[in-house]
């Protein structure tokens, strides 16, 4: 009888051990972050931000481009946030700081990785979010949105002119729309123009 009780206890302990192990394994995998870079969002205007995201559209890293941008998000946590949430927060923060108005230009650019399965029009979802926030708050700034798969030519243009890849994507879009002018003055000259001047050429 005693042996049966011991066996029963051992069996119960083993079963609990297996169950606990399965739960720990499951939770570890549930909370596991995919660090694959799927796309990068560039938001530029009064402030500039670079948002790196994984295939689940969760933020891997967000970088402020200058001191004013750093100050804008000081104390704001984006840990585990979606890109959509981050863009909404950033837009609202710029509105709250009275940075966006009818005279302001805002650029939203997405660079998709070579392996990204997202449609090239995916940036339009973020564009729609920003438009909604702008309208609700009567900020009325002009929004320009573009998207492009990773391209060595664009990467080289950004590096050569010390601009973001997002800005370089925008410049290439301007070249496609206004080829004659860009050829006349040179693409590197255009790339060095301030954002407001680029928007006039778009």
The pLDDT value recorded for residue 52 is: 97
What is the rounded distance in angstroms from the CA atom of residue 44 to the CA atom of residue 195?
A: 8
pLDDT in tens, 50-91: 999 999 999 999 999 999 999 999 988 898 899 999 999 999
State the Cα–Cα distance between residues 126 and 14, nearest whole angstrom: 50
Count of other CB atoms within 10 angstroms of residue 3:
7
Task: Quick: pLDDT tens for 12-60.
Answer: 545 445 445 444 444 344 457 789 999 999 999 999 999 999 999 999 9
* pLDDT value of position 19: 44
Do β-strands 59-64 and 142-149 pair in parallel, antiparallel, or remain unpaired? unpaired
Half-sphere exposure of 4 (CA within 13 A, CB side): 1
pLDDT higher than threshold 80 for residue 179: yes
């Amino acid at each position: 009888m005693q042996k049966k009780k011991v066996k029963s206890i051992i069996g119960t302990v083993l079963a609990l051990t297996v169950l606990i192990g399965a739960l720990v394994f499951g939770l570890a995998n549930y909370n596991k972050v995919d660090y694959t870079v799927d796309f990068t969002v560039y938001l530029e205007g009064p402030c500039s931000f670079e948002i790196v995201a994984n295939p689940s559209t969760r933020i891997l890293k967000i970088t402020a481009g200058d001191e004013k941008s750093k100050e804008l998000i000081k104390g704001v946590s984006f840990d585990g946030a979606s890109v959509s949430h981050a863009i909404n927060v950033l837009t609202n923060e710029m509105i709250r700081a009275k940075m966006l108005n009818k005279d302001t230009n805002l650029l939203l650019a997405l660079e998709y990785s070579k392996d990204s399965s997202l449609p090239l029009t995916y940036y339009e979802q973020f564009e729609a979010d920003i438009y909604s926030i702008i309208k609700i708050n009567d900020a009325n700034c002009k929004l320009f949105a573009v998207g492009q798969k990773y391209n060595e030519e664009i990467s080289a243009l950004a590096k050569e002119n010390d601009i973001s890849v997002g800005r370089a994507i925008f410049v290439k879009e301007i070249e496609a729309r206004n080829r004659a002018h860009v050829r006349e003055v040179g693409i590197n000259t255009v790339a060095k123009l301030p954002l407001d001047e680029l928007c006039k050429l778009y």
